[in-house]
Amino acid sequence: MPTPKTMRPLTAAQARKGLELRRKRIHYDPVNLAARYEHLQVTPRMPNFAAWIDGVDLSKPIPARIRRELRQALWDFEVIFLRPQPMSVERHVELASVFGKVSQGSFFERSVEHPNVEMIVTNRERPPGIDNWHTDITWMQYPALGTVIQITETPPSGGNTCWVSTSKAFDALSEGMKQYLMPLSATHTWEASGFRDFLGRYGEEALLQAMRLFKPVSHPVVLRHPQSGRDCLYVNSVFTKRINGLDYRESDGILKLLTDWLQRPEFMVHHAWEKDGIAIWDNRATQHYANADYWPQKRINRRVTFEDPRSPQAGINVFDLVMKGRKTDN
């Protein structure tokens, strides 16, 4: 008969090792700014995530050399910030075109000045409602590559925006969890989000039109960024409905673990807006959260999205499509 194992107290060395294993150290190799940037001044706000960019004058066309370094900065830091400066709608669209084909955007209303500029206006009558962690437009087959926003009117206080790095979040997971997630895919749909209520305000036909046009889609749980080569967690609490192929209890548990994990402060930058401040983010490598702590004060967010040119929906005005055929008295 084999001798039964007996319980022994941990040695001091074993106890120390156990404590070390409780938390995986987050390691990073800093970007070599001097080698990468000749024309822009890049100031990281977090280790290899989020950066201030100086050296861009938006009162005139953007030179090719600045365009190249802006793209590199976005791939290096995933969300970048430009100091407050006036920006016409034409320059706003031009800035977005630096990073990809300018998109017609999402379900939001459009500026009267330009059809590619979305307006998110919040005030007493229109309370803020984007206070959730999400990645934009993952309910489309080819989601937006990123977005350029300018806050043209800020409340007296509050109204900040937070971003998290989904690549840093993935890197910090255990090797076993990474291997588990890599082959998985997930279903995304706008119907799981607040867009249902938003479109409902425009009448039943708008809601039905959106349901006809934009069916649920599937995306990998871990997305490899084609420019940076980083692996990014690509699920979010707003549009991701389920992980495919799993029992719903396992799917719910894994999604809850990942969405909680993504909110760690080590992966996050918290941005306080100034009037006419500008942010540009990579939609494949970040999630964001717009604080809703300023109601009933007014805030105006002007945004232009850039998209994947392969998309069969490239150039389609989503808002116009869902409004088509809507009764004018709704």
- The CATH number of whichever domain residue 42 belongs to comes to 3.60.130.10
Residue of 231, 242, 303, 308 marked active site? 303
With respect to residue 256, please indicate whether it lies within any of the assigned structural domains: yes
Separation of alpha carbons 229 and 223, rounded Å: 10
Looking at residue 221, its pLDDT comes to: 98
- Is 134 one of the catalytic residues? yes
- Above 60 in pLDDT, residue 206? yes
Catalytic residue among 288, 299, 302, 308: 288
Instruction: Say if 116 falls within a structural domain.
Output: yes
In tens, the pLDDT along 212-256 reads: 777 899 999 999 999 999 999 999 998 999 999 999 999 999 999
Does any domain span residue 131?
A: yes
More confident residue, 94 or 9: 94
Q: How many CB atoms lie within 10 A of CB 99?
A: 22
* pLDDT of 207 over the 80 cut: no
Contact 116, 105 (CB under 8 A): yes
251: in domain: yes
Q: What is the DSSP string of 233-260?
A: E---TTTEEEETTS-HHHHHHHHHHHHH
54 SS3 class: strand
Domain of residue 141, residue span: 36-323
> Angle at CA 74, nearest 5°, toward 71 and 79?
150
| Residue of 272, 269, 259, 129 whose CA lies nearest to 197 | 129
* Any domain includes 166: yes
> What is each CA distance from 125 to 7, 160, 289, 327, in whole angstroms?
66, 20, 21, 22
Q: Report which of residues 261 and 11 the model is more confident about.
A: 261
Q: Distance between CA atoms of 226 and 208, rounded to whole angstroms?
A: 35
Per-residue pLDDT at 19 exceeds 90: no
Of 134, 188, 271, 299, which is the active-site residue?
134
Residue 101 lies in a domain: yes
Categorize the per-residue pLDDT at 329 as very low, low, confident or very high, splitting at 50, 70 and 90. very low
Active site residue 188: no
CA 198, 201, 204 angle in degrees (round to 5)? 105
- Whether 17 shows a pLDDT value over 70: the answer reads no
Whether 246 maps to a domain, the answer reads: yes
Query: What total number of domains does the chain contain?
Result: 1
Catalytic residue among 76, 91, 92, 136: 136
The token pair that represents 188 in the structure block: 């995304």
Residue 296: is the preceding peptide bond cis (ω within 30°)? Answer: yes
310 is catalytic: no
Q: Let me know if 303 is a catalytic residue.
A: yes
For residue 250, tell me if it sits in a domain. Answer: yes
Reply yes or no on whether the pLDDT at 94 is more than 80.
yes
pTM for the full predicted model? 0.85
